Structure 1
């Protein structure tokens, strides 16, 4: 296309406004089309640079009034190489461009006379792309051409910075997810990988496989007697023996402090379990120490379970019975393991009765743990934790009654009761302390799967007690975001519209949910206590915590560190930029009256710092 006299062509304000109303690829393509048409270029394009391999990839490319397919090319020996490396504002060859770059096939083959490249830089000044126009004739009056390229480069940079920010965040997520799939010490897969793998294996492996849980007997005593260094050697030796016994390293997991898992295919589980027990029972020599210990194994066949979660539950039942029985080191699950099922049934019946009673007669209660903002004026944020001391059953753990509620359809009623108790606690605290407090309340996947009912329950309680939604944070685990039941996005949108804040609890312990972090409006990320408590002795855990803090900054959300127990952990977190702290360093979960007493007995300045 012959370039016409540029002085006869202008780009109007309406043209620019039309571009500003667009976004994404459409904005990039229409920007190139506008410059191409108005400036009568041979082609106009926007390229993104990969400095590692010196390759440019077109994000938008217009030639002969047509949006062309994307392409890649080597920038070596091209004007794009100069544009990417230049500290100047632009790179221009007003004539004989093809002669200046005889090794550039695009310029030479098409005999292109002139070239203009306008670098697109990020906030740090790094050139990540170029806005390019080429012409078949010399540029005799470069000023207007430069003016419009400069103008539109700013619009393009604004669009691309969002893209680059997402890519940077995705890179952080990728690093984080890669480090959270495996156990730091043994490099075996971890508990969360096991849950994902079991779900898949139950679908494809049939019923001839078995799940084996392995627990080191008396491991705490090893740790207390010899210290973590020797205890780690025991774990590494155990991991090596399990690898040897079960062959395939990809089906072996470390799922807890002293607990491992293995998936055994076929009907050889008995022989392998016996071999593993004998190998570990014989102990091993480390330096001057002869370390003798034993293990307990709980085994369940895939044919005895309906799902991956069911497999883990039944293997745990077998393992618990094994550890409770004298002279038993290998326990297979069978239907006679009924005691735990009986307890579960009793919990379910007692829970139904309790939830049917009024809140005044309920044995359910709440404990509160402070979330301390360093340098704050006082303790004003607390996480609400459900507790239950039943008259007949005694203390029922949260794991017991929450699991029972989820499996019997009582979870919504339980959540409603806990929120009401939280409102009662909030009223008591504010009346006693004389200032407003904010509470964080946990929410399960099954509650959020019925968003209208859940939101209605919350708003009714707020109206009854006269509280505002922005005084409450709803805490979700990563499992909630991974669930397929209900419209999670709709539910979170509804909570936000009412004014509730959303926190992502136990962050970093999941894998698949990392892919969903962009999809949901999250106000706060809570770092899982496992990483916090390991970061002083484990470099991987420290790096994960740093990544999570940096990720929170990128996403512009607040960050809370859970499970902080020591001054050293606190100082490390503060150095990373995390100043909202929850953990036993400040307080264990307490009943509202106990919490009041704790706050009133705090020494000066301790309400916000240690």
Structure 2
């Protein structure tokens, strides 16, 4: 065969071999094909290490079969010469040319041809070599065959390495994601801080695959030490044998833990054996099998208070995606710690409030103060608590009113203030000393109180804001939790101050409760009690109400000041009082508004009263050598002619007074047209009541879709109202009206019954509704103890199973009384009804309660979905809600989905269901059935 024919045949066979090679056995098939094509005894494809010192075969062909791969040093071998882009060809005597290569002697090789192997981007990867046991003269196409083969092998090897890199990257990211999810579950379930810390460390080891994990808190003492709080994994005394600080001036503060606390940023050490900052702990760490680590800061309010340390048994890099997820884990842990601490602080504050409440029951001066001081010490776990008052005769001294040490009441004494901590309290409202407080205690008690380390005091102010005393506590140990102490002392200080003032002037407090201090007239509280009483007594008689507003009084305040204005108001009150008779009751509502109650009354008598009041201001008022010309506008309304309640009567008098001002007349009687808007609302309320009675309301249905299959999984039931005169009335108008007028429960019951009736009709027509029809339940309806009875009755009457209905409860509605809501949801769930939390994220839900609700789904409010693709905060909120729901084993339903981009983003985040205009608007039952419902399949 001539060269041309031989080359053609060789390259055709090579092309056939390359096309038949598969991913799994590519290199094996390649060397087998080359062995046959070139007719040689040995063919090898090898990967060379980055330092070019070792080679590892990827496939090895020997005497017509595949053999095990080998790893061998390159020094002294012909493979060492295969570099650059030139082939390396030794047609004979290759063993004698490379006497230090034992592999050549073992193979009895005589000829060698090798070409370098490169990645498509030009990186050197290895070589392809052919060896033979006889002296041969390789034809020119042999070199070309090896070049083509090396190029194809290099591309395949680069692809495999890229896939391995991305696979490892995905595995590390998935591991971090799984760890984050499990840790979030632990955050929700944790009741105590130590329990949470230990759970997170254990999960980092069990789920995250780390060799050791620990949490440490940074102390703000002189040493700035970092104290381990919890750990898991291969610890074996490691944390006990090391001392850590976050001070940059200390040697043990220059490691990763100290740098993390100082910087507030994660610190990664890829290889502990080589990192100079870890030299102090290197030997011990390596002995425990630690090869690399990451320290993550724990922050509260922007301040670092601790760290989470994770140690690996390998030097595998921590990639960006994994680092970001671990940072999120640390942020969530910090949030969980802060939440538990706030919960604990709230519990202690609540206990303090209960202590005050129990002490308040003892309303006999000294006994009250004694009990309160005991409770204050118990609430703050303090060894000493006291209440003191500034000496009226010498304000440089204070007198204790009560003092308790170790639960025992002590004799009262006087002490000097200058230079003492109590003086700082009086000057600055509050004073807290974390340690060494004994140095600044009063000289009168310094020796007895030598054990005191920490001090906290709070000033007592009177109603005018003037200091008159203080309360305080002292501790035998340094104080760390100042937030709790501040909050509790503030509560106790308010209780003590109020009680002391009550003891001093109880009569003054009572008078202030019912009297306007500026005029001496009854105030709004006293007036409303008098008005309620008058309307309750009215039996076929009229009660007249007059609302009086001084015209242009604001000009007096603005030009002459409020002091003069107050004096003018007192003079006006005097003038009004001087013209009134026995059945006319005058009060000041506030500002420049006065009110007169005339009981009994009619048009003639109340007109006479109005004219006398107007006449009292006919002459200028003389005040501090100034004359004030005043006039007043008066609005008049009658009970029961114009109103059916005290508030409505006052409102209608106010409307009439406004009309008098607008028309510049002295007084006006209320007329119905003045309250046109009110009347319109009343008319709408009547029509809604009639609509409930005659059934002119209707239901619309909006589909709920499975985002994975795009199939119907249920629908939300929406109430609609078309009035013959008002036309289509928006739910935004008639739902609040129903709430206001007490019709929301009947309206909700109508929706329940109508929904069951529609389901029954569809069933009778052979149509099936996948999933559930979701009915919105108002908070007042949810509080109705007849709700379960109504649901069961409607289902029974129409032959509907409880599982065909879902109830949507608003977040703010069930949080008004969480314990009752928990009991109600459990009862409904037991009966088989589905339960969803509607508009989630717009109210405030305590996770402690939320995890106890027997709900199936959380509905993400449309306000977050609308901007989630453009607003990072909304996207984060949606992500968090979905993750939290998954942790609580609840499904999520996104509301207000209007685009395919939103739907795809929600599905990617793990949300499975959605509703919105993108899938379908709310439509009538007939239209809904035609578009979405399918006949029941015949078996």
Larger Rg: 2
Q: TM-score of the superposition, structure 2-length normalised?
A: 0.31
